[in-house]
Amino acid sequence: MKLIVIIVLLTLLNSCSGNSGGAGYWFHFVFVIIPLVVIGTLILRKAESISDSLFVIEGQIKKALSKLENLEERLKKFEEKNDDTK
- Taking only the tens of pLDDT, the chain with its 86 residues reads 787 777 777 666 665 555 555 566 777 777 888 889 999 999 999 999 999 999 999 999 999 999 999 999 999 999 988 887 76
Let me know: does 15 contact 26? Beta carbons within 8 Å.
no
Let me know: does 61 contact 38? Beta carbons within 8 Å.
no
Provide the H-helix boundaries in the chain: 2-13, 25-28, 34-85
Let me know: does 25 contact 19? Beta carbons within 8 Å.
no
Task: Tell me, yes or no, if the pTM score tops 0.75.
Answer: no
Given this model, what pLDDT does residue 54 score?
A: 94
